[in-house]
Structure 1
């Protein structure tokens, strides 16, 4: 049984009933080790493991950001190994904050996979519903998926600057990082000139009424964050709330600063 077509964020009970979906575990922590051991200790029945940094994102370089887009051929090989075929529906989940699951949703949609949903609350919601886990990795046959990049709109640094001049470029990081008061990851603090700040807190992902209110004044938003992960989470929330999926500056602040672009600090003008 499929969940409602309009629902991108689905409950544990809906996920359990959606038996035809390929389940993908992308549990991840920024800067932490891969969580494959946690996958081996217990995962959704039939779920395959993808290493978020290695499999879903491309390798970081001097420019391009900390989580650039993957090479399409490399992503295709990963997804075929996971057993995906053209037309397969996909369920992705993480630890529950929605970060890596949302970026995986976004990457798969960019790659041309049409039906991708995210388990709201992650594996914690699954276990809270007393649903079973398994420890054995599935033996799925090699898939035949063809990756077709371009399924979602992407901005580069020049595109982000142009968007900020004409539309609403939205920085979804915390207000302190936006203002340049605090930068825990990247070497330069601040924000892209002309960007506005709309922070999506961890507890807000499932509150779609709050998401609609937050973004309603913005006619044509495009999102960025530190490295294109939090921005994908905001894009998932906005899409689930019924708005078109916004463009992402996928390299985000980590790419912007690597190119020595102009930096703004302080409150919105």
Structure 2
């Protein structure tokens, strides 16, 4: 199954005999909570999922958005109607990061059929609803391990032996600015690969061949061992999604820069060079 779905395809599937479960994951760091926007208007039948409460654990030494407690995550998914045998479509406000986080978590936890709405809610040209849905409870039970993950040591090793991509903005990679975390720079050996270069001006993903060419230029082709990190494991999921569209498997470092810099003994590189 493809990793993304167009708005027109979702409209057709939603009226079919076996419509997907649709999840609204509107979230942006520093912005107002996504629930009021969801309540004002969402794709009909979509269930709101709170990224910080249901798709991440409490912040701490494991980073700002560590992987969620499996019981919390599974309970939220079942309450939203997610079942193992029913496809799921996730969307956000258009940035793609939050939806990709939900996509990655569901795939990592064993769900076989999850797609992200390409372009997010802005791409949807159908009606919106302000009515809260009442989905029948689902049966999805998370079984982690279907997608690869990296810890800090694994990320450091991959930066030496494979390809570790830094999904943050280039100026954060270079250490010129750091608006969120206490230390600026990047993991030594990592390559700068901002998520903004995965999408076009409308927020839709570039075609698979264009994405494949982008990652090939970075050395992250299908034959490479690839990993991705960002600030806290959210935007990196969008990079994993873009790699999946290009047919390139990759591991996620969930703790990312916020976990890496929580340990002052870990090395930090600055400037445009990987090391």
Q: Name the CA distance, whole Å, in 2 between partners of 1:84 and 1:199.
A: 31
Q: Name the CA distance, whole Å, in 2 between partners of 1:175 and 1:142.
A: 43
2:105 aligned to 101, 104, 107, which one?
107
TM-score, length of structure 1 as denominator length: 0.92
1:170 aligned to 147, 165, 169, which one?
165
1:224 aligned to 214, 226, 229, which one?
229
SS in 1 for 2:98: helix
- The number of residues matched between the two structures is 259
Q: Name the CA distance, whole Å, in 1 between partners of 2:127 and 2:270.
A: 48
Q: Name the CA distance, whole Å, in 1 between partners of 2:173 and 2:212.
A: 21
- Equivalent residues in 2 for 1:180-219, closer than 5 Å: 180-201=175-196, 203-204=199-200, 206-208=205-207, 209-216=209-216, 217-218=219-220, 219=224
CA distances 1:174-228 after superposition (whole Å, capped 9, x unpaired): 2211111111110100111111112221634511333211211322221011111
2:145 aligned with 1:150, yes or no? yes
For residue 120 of structure 2, what is the aligned residue in structure 1? 122
Asked if the contact 1:24–1:50 (Cα under 8 Å) also holds between the matched residues in 2, the reply is yes
Any runs of at least 4 consecutive aligned residues in structure 1 with deviations exceeding 6 A, and if so which?
none
For residue 131 of structure 2, what is the aligned residue in structure 1? 136
Asked if the contact 2:164–2:190 (Cα under 8 Å) also holds between the matched residues in 1, the reply is yes
Unpaired runs of 5+ residues, structure 2, are none
Which has the higher mean CA deviation after the structures are superposed, 246-255 or 75-84? 75-84
Cα RMSD of the aligned pairs, angstroms, is 1.3
Q: Name the CA distance, whole Å, in 2 between partners of 1:158 and 1:39.
A: 39
Asked if the contact 1:76–1:145 (Cα under 8 Å) also holds between the matched residues in 2, the reply is yes
SS in 2 for 1:65: coil
2:252 aligned with 1:254, yes or no? no
Asked if the contact 1:98–1:233 (Cα under 8 Å) also holds between the matched residues in 2, the reply is yes
- Equivalent residues in 2 for 1:238-249, closer than 5 Å: 238-244=243-249, 246-249=250-253
Asked if the contact 2:84–2:112 (Cα under 8 Å) also holds between the matched residues in 1, the reply is no
Compute the displacement of 1:142 (Å).
Answer: 2.0
- Equivalent residues in 2 for 1:89-100, closer than 5 Å: 89-100=87-98
TM-score, length of structure 2 as denominator length: 0.90
Asked if the contact 1:169–1:223 (Cα under 8 Å) also holds between the matched residues in 2, the reply is yes
SS in 2 for 1:233: helix
Compute the displacement of 1:93 (Å).
Answer: 0.4
Q: Name the CA distance, whole Å, in 2 between partners of 1:31 and 1:154.
A: 27
Q: Name the CA distance, whole Å, in 1 between partners of 2:23 and 2:6.
A: 15
CA distances 1:146-181 after superposition (whole Å, capped 9, x unpaired): 111111111111111111121111112122111111
Q: Name the CA distance, whole Å, in 2 between partners of 1:248 and 1:86.
A: 23
